[in-house]
Amino acid sequence: MRRTDEVKTLQDHEFIAEFPKLIQDFANYKLVYQGCSQKTVNEYLFDLRTFCRYLKASRGGLPMTGETFNEIDITDLGRDFFEGVMTSEIYSFLSFTYTKRENGVSARARKLSAIKGFYKYCTAKMMLFETNPAANIETPKQKKSLPKHLSVEECVDLLDAVKNDETSKTKVRDYCILTMFLNCGMRLSELAGISLPDIDPELRSLRVTGKGAKERIIYLNEACRSAMTAYFPVRLATPAKNKGETALFLSGQGNRISVKTIQWMVKKYLGEAGLAYKNYSTHKLRHTAATLMYQSGQVDIRVLKDILGHEQLNTTQIYTHVSNEQMEAAMNNNPLADRAAPPAAEFHAIEVPEEDTPAPEDPPKKKRGRPKKVQET
């Protein structure tokens, strides 16, 4: 089973039957009890499948690459197999993903997270194993990089590219989508999933469903209200393919707009705005909204965390990077920044002693300690 864009579910018996019973139970735990999305659960399954195939291949002398590796059957693996996994084998697997599969730091960290989660479930939750072979393995350190984002001028150019498109039949819809991205900082899946009942009748806010099926409220500013007010008549006049369809954004066929259609649309207008060379994406628009809100100086980092739907504050802190203009302003705001140097006339050449001039002797060092008492005679 290769990875595809289609999200498989645990109710897909043909799909879930490809995994050992213990991994099936772990996936069900992540989905039902921890509230992870099906997409997240699938990523755990795919990474654990690669791990299991590696273990069978390394122990059995099977090929580590090609179709032979991808077709290794892991359904026969039971409790004894997983309990017998050694820490050294996990290290070897991570090395394999780097050397043979060319996985980057993020991909290796995700695979290790799946293994750690699986063994934590087996040891701490189900008490199946006494020891956790992945417990003390450190996550690969990821290079910290500043999130790419559009400048204010580039945002205006992008929106103007939609306004100036005289051939598009979906111009009003597309302008609304881009406005929501640039102002609300929502994820691609969140925007595509908005339904009409999610929107406040007075256009003050809307409800989105984020990672782990967690809902949050996003408040709308004047730009969003204006774009949605212009789009609503178009939306209501567009016939939906299925009766009762409540999606806010519809495709040309009358279905809920797909994430791929939104990605294609964003790429199209980035090109028309002359920004294609920067390789921006829909997620970069989310970064843009967050960065512009924070750099305005009026948004607390904790408020931004809730707007973006982050679980941990340290995830939001990537937006606390400063721009060149902010660094320049910080230097200029130093209390000593306006101190002028003495005029040149007050400076004199430094006198350098001749080579035969003896260096001045160091002053005698003072003796430390209390002075000795003098006995009276």
pLDDT (tens digit per residue) in 163-216? 999 999 999 999 999 999 998 888 899 999 999 999 999 999 999 988 877 889
Residue 366 pLDDT class (50, 70, 90 cuts): low
Residue 2 pLDDT class (50, 70, 90 cuts): very low
Q: State residue 300's pLDDT score.
A: 74
Q: State which amino acid sits at residue 227.
A: A
Q: State which amino acid sits at residue 213.
A: A
Q: Is the predicted pLDDT of residue 121 greater than 70, yes or no?
A: yes
Residues acting as catalytic residues: 187, 211, 283, 286, 310, 319
CA angle, residues 261, 194, 176, in degrees to nearest 5: 60
Nearest to 321 by CA among 292, 352, 354: 292
Q: What is the mean pLDDT of residues 118-125?
A: 96
The string of DSSP letters for 308-374 reads: HT-SSHHHHGGGG---HHHHHHHHHTSTTTTPPPPPGGG--PPPPPPTTSPPPPPPPPPPPSPPPPP
Q: What is the pTM of this model?
A: 0.64
- Provide, for the chain, the percentages of residues in helix, strand and coil under a 3-state DSSP scheme, each rounded to the nearest 5: 50, 5, 45
pLDDT (tens digit per residue) in 329-348? 666 766 666 776 666 655 55
Half-sphere exposure of 215 (CA within 13 A, CB side): 7
pLDDT (tens digit per residue) in 40-90? 899 999 999 999 999 999 999 999 988 999 999 999 999 999 999 999 999
Looking up tokens 């490809």, which residue turns up?
18
